[in-house]
Amino acid sequence: MIKVINKVEEILDFVWKLSQDDFYASYPRRKSLEEVKKYLQRTINEDEKSIVAYYKDNELYGVCCYFWEESEKYAQTTLFLIKDYYEDIAEALISYVSIQLPGYELFIGFPDTNENAREYFEGKSIQCIEASTVTKLYNLKSDIREKHPSVERITESNFDEYAIFHDEHAVPSGMYYNSKNLKKDMELFRVFALREQGKIHGSIFVRARKGMSEIFGLFIDKEYEDKHFIGILINEMLMELYNEFGTVKEIIYFINEGSTEELNSALSAGFEIYERYRCYKCLL
């Protein structure tokens, strides 16, 4: 039986327990019981978000939290936790969401330690649209040096020029933050571009907050991949974050598997490997 959840207490202990177990966890990760509780309450209260639970013989076996954006036909889970009977319960939860959101694309993310999830989605030939190494940097410190002359901040005044470069990379990857959606949320992001010979050849964009920032993407033209420009972009971004926020507690950075230069540049800048991540796209 699937039930819409309106009270946090019904699922809080279940969600917290499974979220802390790498074998059951989903993405995004949350660090404390209090953080989980606040998130669940917000999801219950806000529009275009929902929590559903799967019960079998009056026992809780699965929880799915998700949000959607109607204009984009885009939906994403923020919790997808299943204790047992993985295939049956995953089928039931995804089927429920598909009835609510027909025609949408639903994105579901996990650490790759969740073997049940990986086996289910791969067994169903559901597309894995992202396989990443998750890296993190804690307690960003000052690195006093001169600003690199080739890197510039992108703002509303020069966004239209940047948007052309951005979409050359973002659109083929299918990422949510194409230039239209990035511009819509521009106040949340800091975007830096690499300009050489009068033309933009690289960029990095980060959702910036003092508590936790997240790098959403680094784009670089192929002919510039081996010229240390990736490291320049990462280090320039870190310097600008420190100048604006001081010591950022945590910066998270998903790096596509196979992007060796990008991973090495991040590690050289102080990031550490945390785990590996998979994201699957379901056509509802």
Q: What would the mean pLDDT of 274-281 be, rounded to a whole number? A: 97
Looking at residue 147, its pLDDT comes to 84
Looking at residue 47, its pLDDT comes to 93
Q: What would the mean pLDDT of 56-71 be, rounded to a whole number? A: 96
Q: What are phi and psi of 51, to 5 degrees?
A: -125, 130
Residues 6+ apart with CB under 8 A from 48: 67, 68, 69, 70
| Domains of the chain from N-terminus onward | 2-125 (3.40.630.30), 138-278 (3.40.630.30)
pLDDT higher than threshold 80 for residue 226: no
What average pLDDT does the chain have?
95
pTM of the model: 0.91
pLDDT higher than threshold 80 for residue 125: yes
Give residue 260's Cα distance to chain centre: 20
The structure tokens listed for 144 are: 């006093």
Strand 212-220 and strand 250-256: pairing? parallel
Asked if residues 273 and 262 have their Cβ atoms less than 8 Å apart, the reply is no
Residues of the chain above pLDDT 90, percent: 94
Indicate the range of 9-13, 27-31, 278-282 predicted with least confidence.
27-31
User: Which residue type is seen at 89?
Assistant: I
Looking at residue 142, its pLDDT comes to 76
pLDDT higher than threshold 90 for residue 28: yes
Q: How confident is the model at residue 174 (pLDDT cuts 50, 70, 90)?
A: confident
Q: How confident is the model at residue 264 (pLDDT cuts 50, 70, 90)?
A: very high
Q: Sign of torsion, CA 42 170 134 86? A: positive
